[in-house]
Amino acid sequence: MLRKNEIYPVTFAGYSAEGLGVCRIDGQVVFVAGALDGERAEVRIVKVLKQLAYGRIERLLEASPHRIVSDCPYFVQCGGCSMRHMDYAEELRFKQGRIRDALTRIGGVDPGELPVLGAEETDGYRNKALFPVGEADGAPIAGFYRARSHDVVPVERCRLQAAHADAAKNAILTWMRENRVSVYDETQNKGLVRHLYVRSAFGTGQVLVCVVVNGKKLPNEDGLVDAIRKAVPEVNSIVLAVNREQTNAVLGAEYRTLWGADVIEDTLCGLNFRLSPRSFYQVNRKQAQRLYAIAREKAALTKNDTAIDLYCGTGTISLVLAKDAGEVIGVEVIPAAIEDAKENAARNGVENARFFCADAGEAAARLAKEGIRPTAVVVDPPRKGLSEDVIEAIAVMSPDRVVYVSCDPGTLARDVKLLTEKGYSLVSAEGVDLFPRTPHVESCVLLCRE
Ligand code: SAH
Q: What tens digit of pLDDT does each residue of 365-386 get? A: 999 999 899 999 999 999 999 9
Please give the Cα distance from 174 to 209 (Å, whole number).
15
Ligand 1 neighbour 341 (Cβ under 6 A) = no
* Alpha carbon 353 to its chain's center: 25
**Cβ distance 355 to 380 under 8 Å?**
no
**Cβ distance 64 to 51 under 8 Å?**
no
- Comparing 312 with 50, the larger pLDDT belongs to 312
Ligand 1 neighbour 289 (Cβ under 6 A) = no
The half-sphere exposure of 222 on its side-chain side, counting CA atoms within 13 A, is: 0
What is the identity of the amino acid at 113? Answer: E
Hey, where are the domains in the chain?
7-62, 92-120+284-449, 128-265
Beta bridge partners of 268: 271
CATH code for 7-62? 2.40.50.140
Q: What is the pLDDT of residue 311?
A: 97
* Residue 408: its H or E element: none
Q: What is the pLDDT of residue 159?
A: 97
What is the identity of the amino acid at 450? Answer: E
Q: What tens digit of pLDDT does each residue of 233-270 get? A: 999 999 999 999 999 999 988 999 999 999 999 999 99
Alpha carbon nearest to ligand 1 atom 22, residue: 359
Cα angle: 380, vertex 412, 127; to 5 degrees:
45
What is the identity of the amino acid at 188? Answer: Q
**Cβ distance 326 to 351 under 8 Å?**
no
Q: What is the pLDDT of residue 393?
A: 95
59 CA distance to ligand 1 middle (Å): 45
Answer yes or no: same fold for 7-62 and 128-265: yes
Q: What tens digit of pLDDT does each residue of 334-357 get? A: 998 999 999 999 999 999 999 999
How are beta strands 424-432 and 116-117 bridged, if at all? parallel
What is the fold, at CATH topology level, of the domain defined by 92-120+284-449? Rossmann fold (3.40.50)
Q: What is the pLDDT of residue 363?
A: 95
Closest ligand 1 atom, residue 387 Cα: 22
**Cβ distance 195 to 201 under 8 Å?**
no
pLDDT at 391 over 90: yes
What pTM, to 2 d.p., does this model score? Answer: 0.95
407 annotated active-site: yes
pLDDT at 433 over 90: yes
How far apart are the two ends of the chain, measured CA to CA in Å? 48
What is the identity of the amino acid at 246? Answer: Q
Domain 128-265 has CATH 2.40.50.1070: yes
> Annotated catalytic residue: which of 158, 269, 407, 444?
407
Q: What tens digit of pLDDT does each residue of 97-151 get? A: 999 999 999 999 999 999 999 999 999 999 999 999 999 999 999 999 998 899 9
Please give the Cα distance from 10 to 38 (Å, whole number).
10
Ligand 1 neighbour 408 (Cβ under 6 A) = no
Enter the DSSP assignment of 67: B
Q: What is the pLDDT of residue 166?
A: 97
pLDDT at 174 over 90: yes
Task: Return mean pLDDT, the chain.
Answer: 96
Mean pLDDT of the region 165-181: 97
Mean pLDDT of the region 11-34: 96
Ligand 1 neighbour 404 (Cβ under 6 A) = no
pLDDT at 277 over 90: no
Please give the Cα distance from 382 to 389 (Å, whole number).
16
Share of the chain above pLDDT 90, in %: 95
Which residues in 397-416 are b (16+ Cβ under 10 Å) and which e? bebbbbbbbbbbbbbbbbbb
